[in-house]
Chains A and B, each alone.
Chain A
Amino acid sequence: MDFFETHGIHKVFGTTHALTDVSITVPEQSIFGLLGPNGAGKTTLIRIINQITAPDKGDVYLAGKKITRDDISNIGYLPEERGLYTKMKIGEQVLYLAKLKGMTHQGAMNNLKYWFKKFDIVSWWDKKVEELSKGMQQKVQFITTVVHKPKLLIFDEPFSGFDPINANLIKQEILELRDKGATIIFSTHNMGTVEDLCDHIALINKSRKILDGPINEVKEDFKSNIFEVSYRGEFEKVEKSLGNSFQVLAHQETEYENSIRIQETDGREKNSLITALLGAAEIRSFKEVIPSMNDVFIKAVEKYNAENKMP
């Protein structure tokens, strides 16, 4: 079931198109990667979802209903540009932000105690923010994002500023929140974390959505019939056996084994490649090369930009 949707969102600032007809669907209990180059419109879309700005056209649906002001308490948002009141005590501050999300004093206290214990930061309660390091502040910010148990969580570049240990801690928390039922929208430039975490992605470029779907399907769509084979035998013999429908992209010879990258050019069955190779050398491994999200990102954006060049 789709938990969250946007339909044909348009947003214009002055003469700049920030978003053009953007529709995304986020399945319940999934982690959805919102990707795109800088200035593509991701942050604007996130702000529209949070009702910080209103779209010029288009609608946002949460759990099948048009989103309203009351849904604010169902959303947790960790913005990319984030900070805290530097002179305010941590405890007072998280309590304040939780109350702004509509929690009662008691409810907020209970949840905050849980998180402070979990992150082992109970002793920070009476400290001022300016006494904490940046990484420590990020932990507090993470707590303020999740304290009200939102059903939809939005993280904009959540790992910037974290050291690898804390980044991993937060990653585990995000996965746990998803397993407990939260739906997560997640924006980042780090394609490694996208592959680790995301089930679905959408790619936004120059105000338009140019790609979306389950991450495996997207990758599948971007593969270019390249195979990687390692074998024992002579390269010339292998090359000769391939015929016209395959092209050798690269080959490497070592003392122990040789490897070769081959691109299929006329859409034949993959198995015909294996058949051809079988007679030429001793095959040690054979695999199709699936592009990384990094490759997909670059390819999709470059392709779109080439096709839509301004005259």
Chain B
Amino acid sequence: MNKTWIILKREYLTRVKKKSFIITTLLVPLFFAALMVVPIWLSTRDDKQERRIAVYDESSLFLDQLGEEGYTKYHFIPQSKYDSLKRNLENSEFYAVLYIPANIYTVNSAELLSSRQLPLELSEQIERKLSQIIETDKRSKVIQEAGIPDLEDKLASTKTRININTMKVTATGEQKKSSSIVAFIASYGMGFIIYFFVFMYGSMVMRSVMEEKKNRIVEVIISSVKPFQLMTGKIVGTALVGLTQVAIWIVLGIAALGVVQGFFTPEATREMGQSILESQQQVGPMTPSVPEQSQIAGILESIANLNIPLLIFGFLFYFLGGYLLYSSLMGAIGAAVDNDEDSQQLVFPVTFPLILSIMLLIAISRNPEGAVAFWASIIPLTSPVCMLARLPFSPPAWEILLSMVLLVLTTIGAIWAGAKIYRTGILMYGKKVNLKELIKWLTYRG
């Protein structure tokens, strides 16, 4: 036990002190932060570009109705100016020229001319604006023709929007607010984290075993400690490296959140909120646009209504089980091969279920009760990712239990087989091994 501890300490310290570890640990959160912050920041910047649009309105219907909108300014011009502008758009003060034909009511189209590639948002904005004006105009004409008193108000009162509140009924008949979207995100996110860590740290164990075999130190070490102790120290030490990394990321994440909040000062946030509101209002007068407070509250409520203790327990359980299962198999492969190429051949069949389970994630979160979801979450090689992904949808208890028991049994088997292959393979050089050979090693006595 004491010697396992010495090995564990070395495995942990040499990894944590490595430059590559420090760099990835610091850069990954920065990368994700940048991925979130930069587009938002850029979008707020872009909005501030002032664009002058020349409008030649042949229909003369929009004269008073197009003025300023955000940073886009409309200037009406006569036909003569339009003709000259068209020829020399590049050097003019205008960003683009909008041509509204006389018969726009019937053709339903206008032209926007520019010497450069126009941003999609701009043409969408103009489309919206013109449609809105024409629609309002048409409607008021219809209302006038119909001659029904208060028709405008009556029509307005027909606007409707229904929200579906999904409720989960528990065995006791209690109703709890649940949100499919929250469950979906939780399930996909957790499944992916497990996949990522098992893969990354499993390969780390494999590479470390291969290194010891390659530089021939392993025989000295296993003349001092049992191969099983060496393997245990390595696997647990590497797992702790992973947990350290996660812990650092959580701390950095919280810190980064603070920075981001500071970056978006209250004014900036309000401004952004307003522009969002505006853009939503522009979608059309038919849909009410203010995001309802109740919706946000609903999401928070359904997060609170997820079975958090079960999720945390499940996450730790499947994380540990999946990691032990895969890292002991990958460690065994590292011991069995002499070089990287050979390892690739053997690694693929082992990691295939893991890759498969990540591909199944979407299917599982779409139909968490389906046959695919059931089998993928019961079979031990895919269950760490798949059962975890099902947990937010509260699958039947017996299925969870069965999946866990099978995972534990398989993991014990994998550790046993891994240790067998490890102690035979680690001292075998210059022999190309295949799966059949590995199975033969299982029959060798210590």
Contact = CB atoms under 8 A, between A and B. Distances in A.
Contacts of A47: 427
Interface string B191-230: 0000000000000000000011001110111111110000
A75 B220 CA distance: 11
Contact of B220 (A69, A79, A99): A79
B215 A54 contact: no
Nearest to B444: A13
B429 interface: yes
A99 B212 CA distance: 18
SS class, residues of chain A in contact with chain B: loop
B204 to A, nearest CB: 15
A81 B224 contact: no
A101 B6 CA distance: 11
Contact of A100 (B6, B212, B423, B445): B6
A56 interface: yes
Interface in A47-95: 47, 50-54, 56, 69, 72, 75, 77-79, 81-88
Nearest to B221: A100
Contact of B215 (A52, A84, A101): A84
A150 to B, nearest CB: 11
A97 B440 contact: no
B427 A52 contact: yes
Most chain A CB within a 10 A radius of its CB, from B7, B211, B223, B429: B223
A144 interface: yes
A77 B446 CA distance: 19
Contacts of A311: none
A43 B117 CA distance: 75
B422 to A, nearest CB: 12
For chain B, the bracket of interface size reads 20 to 34
B14 interface: yes
Given A96-B6, A97-B224, A100-B7, A81 B444 contact: no
A99 to B, nearest CB: 5
A52 B222 contact: yes
B220 A72 contact: no
Contact of A54 (B7, B211, B445): B445
A14 interface: yes
A97 B429 CA distance: 23
Most chain A CB within a 10 A radius of its CB, from B10, B217, B427: B217
Nearest to B5: A99
Contacts of B225: 100
Contacts of A99: 6
B14 A88 contact: yes
Interface in B138-166: none
A85 B6 contact: no
B392 to A, nearest CB: 43
A11 to B, nearest CB: 9
Interface in B224-266: 224-226
Interface string A1-35: 00000000000011000000000000000000000
Given A52-B427, A84-B215, A100-B6, A79 B223 contact: yes
A86 B221 CA distance: 15
A234 B59 CA distance: 142
Contacts of A97: 220-221, 224
B432 interface: no
Given A72-B223, A100-B225, A83 B215 contact: yes
Interface in B253-303: none
Contacts of A51: 223
Nearest to B446: A54
A141 B429 CA distance: 20
B81 interface: no
Nearest to A73: B224
A172 B180 CA distance: 78
Given A52-B427, A75-B223, A82 B216 contact: yes
B446 A53 contact: yes
6 contacts: A14-B440, A54-B445, A54-B446, A56-B445, A85-B212, A100-B224
Interface of B: 3, 6-7, 10, 14, 211-212, 215-217, 219-226, 423, 427, 429, 440, 444-446
Given A50-B223, A83-B215, 8 more contacts: A52-B219, A54-B446, A69-B226, A79-B216, A79-B220, A79-B223, A96-B10, A100-B225
Closest 10 CB pairs of A and B: A83-B216, A100-B224, A83-B215, A79-B219, A54-B446, A50-B223, A77-B223, A81-B216, A83-B217, A99-B6
